[in-house]
């Protein structure tokens, strides 16, 4: 039994809603809220591990106090009116009410609350729409480790902050802080205290037997440690892996039924985010984040996280699409860093042909935190 990606990605998920008047700074904003010793913050994101990462970042500034964590847009509107926070960190892709619409309603109900969008979306059009709705800040999740605290500081001083990860941003806009100007000398994401655990490893295998040995060991160890597992592989490898796991004592039917083992055909997955021979970043991150959310919900808070293994980039390289393979590896690295997912990629050693492919081989190795080769 294989899950289909149609359940995970909705092309209309992020809907832009027009509506706010131009933002007017009140006297408190002009003075700078950072003078307040207790700035009350609400975090709104439907992925709990990422909320934990944000919490860890905010602890770097002792005057910041997280008073509520929410996972859907409708509750965010209701709680914002009830709690009257100073600052709201708001995702866009939220259940029940998307972040854009939630922000529109929050601005009407709690006009003094500052809003920073914290989203995977990096399009300048989306960012401009969000700012037009009354938000003062926009941080792309990929860059949250180094940009969130500078964004909070800028917004609480009444300035706009737009992430360096936004495509086509107008960094010269008046009263707008640029990440290069406000980024601290030591990025918080790189600190041991706040970094989410990240393993993005690669195994170069000689034959199918060694592939199955490495992947079955990875899957079994992940399940035994309490993680949900996502496997993206060829149809033949999925069938063989299922048989191998079953022979090793894993009740595959049971873990599939529980939703903690999600097996997906690699060609089907690639079809959801490849455009003109290259991965579309926004589509990829939507698919990946939806898969992670689905797996996380399946473990129902009883387990530690999500592990993933597969052949997305290796399949592209097997089709001699070196640039596409490298870009997909870079995107999986973003996922590993953002969500703390342990990832194992499997390449056939025979797909690399001596000096001709040596530069690609080295680039692929460089994209991983661990390299294993037979």
Taking alpha carbons only, the member of 63, 69, 67, 76 closest to residue 33 is 63
The DSSP letter of residue 20 is: P
Q: Are residues 60 and 125 in the same domain?
A: yes
Is residue 289 domain-shared with residue 368, that is, in the same domain?
Answer: yes
Cβ(208)–Cβ(191) below 8 Å = no
Whether the predicted model's global pTM rises above the 0.75 cut: no
Based on the domain organization, do 111 and 229 belong to the same domain? no
Alpha-carbon span 280 to 183, nearest angstrom? 28
**Whole-angstrom Cα distance, residue 185 to residue 338?**
21
What pLDDT band is residue 166 in, cutting at 50, 70 and 90? confident
Going by pLDDT thresholds of 50, 70 and 90, the confidence category of residue 226 is confident
Same domain, 169 and 209: no
Domain membership flag for residue 90? yes
Last-in-domain residue among 171, 190, 209: 190
Which CATH number is 303's domain given?
3.40.50.300
Is 37 in the same domain as 183? yes
Residue in 212, 196, 215, 213 with CA at minimum distance from that of residue 305: 196
Residues 230 and 148 placed together within one structural domain of the fold: no
C-alpha distances (whole Å) from 269 to each of 47, 278, 329 are 22, 13, 14
Which pairing describes strands 199-205 and 176-177: parallel, antiparallel, or unpaired? unpaired
> Could you tell me if 111 and 128 lie in one domain?
yes
Residue 71: give the domain boundaries.
27-190
Provide the domain count of the chain: 2
The arithmetic mean of pLDDT across residues 31-41, rounded, is: 65
Q: Where does a domain end: 190, 213, 237? A: 190
Please check whether residue 13 lies inside any domain of the structure: no
Spatial neighbors of 295 by CB under 8 A, at least 6 apart, are 228, 229, 230, 259, 260, 262, 306
Final residue in a domain of this structure, among 190, 217, 250: 190
Q: How confident is the model over 112-158, as pLDDT tens digits?
A: 999 999 988 888 888 989 999 889 999 988 788 888 999 999 999 98
Mean pLDDT, to the nearest integer, of 83-97?
A: 93
């Amino acid at each position: 039994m294989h899950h289909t990606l149609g359940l995970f990605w909705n092309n209309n998920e992020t809907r832009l809603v027009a509506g706010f008047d131009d933002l007017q700074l009140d006297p408190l904003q002009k003075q700078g809220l950072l003078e307040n010793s207790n700035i009350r913050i609400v975090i709104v994101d439907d992925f709990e591990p990422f909320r934990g990462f944000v919490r860890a970042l905010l602890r770097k500034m002792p005057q910041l106090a997280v008073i509520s964590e929410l996972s859907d847009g409708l509750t965010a509107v209701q709680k914002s009116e009830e709690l009257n926070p100073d600052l709201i960190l708001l995702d866009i892709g939220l259940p029940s009410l998307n972040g854009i619409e939630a922000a529109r309603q929050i601005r009407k109900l709690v006009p003094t609350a500052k809003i920073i969008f914290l989203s995977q979306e990096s399009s300048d059009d989306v960012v401009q729409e969000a700012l037009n709705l009354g938000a003062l800040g926009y941080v792309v999740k990929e860059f949250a480790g180094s940009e969130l605290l500078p964004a909070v500081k800028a917004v609480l001083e009444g300035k706009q902050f737009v992430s360096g990860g936004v495509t086509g941003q107008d960094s010269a806009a008046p009263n707008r802080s640029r990440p290069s100007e406000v980024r601290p000398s030591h990025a918080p994401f790189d600190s041991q205290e706040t970094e989410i655990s990240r393993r993005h490893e690669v195994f170069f295998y000689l034959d199918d037997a060694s592939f199955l040995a490495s992947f079955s060991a990875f899957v079994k160890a992940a399940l035994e440690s309490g993680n949900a597992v996502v496997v993206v592989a060829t149809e033949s490898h999925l069938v063989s892996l299922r048989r191998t796991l079953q022979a090793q004592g894993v009740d595959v039917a049971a873990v599939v039924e529980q939703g903690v083992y999600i097996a997906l055909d690699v060609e089907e997955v690639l079809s959801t985010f490849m455009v003109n021979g290259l991965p579309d970043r926004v589509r990829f991150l939507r698919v990946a984040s939806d898969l992670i959310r689905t797996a996380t919900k399946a473990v129902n808070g009883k387990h530690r996280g999500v592990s993933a293994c597969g052949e997305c980039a290796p399949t592209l390289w097997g089709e001699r699409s070196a640039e596409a393979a490298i870009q997909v590896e870079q995107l999986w690295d973003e996922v590993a860093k953002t969500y703390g997912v342990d990832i194992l990629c499997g390449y056939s050693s025979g797909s690399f042909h001596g000096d001709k492919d040596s530069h690609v081989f080295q680039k692929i190795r460089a994209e991983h935190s661990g390299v294993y080769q037979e």
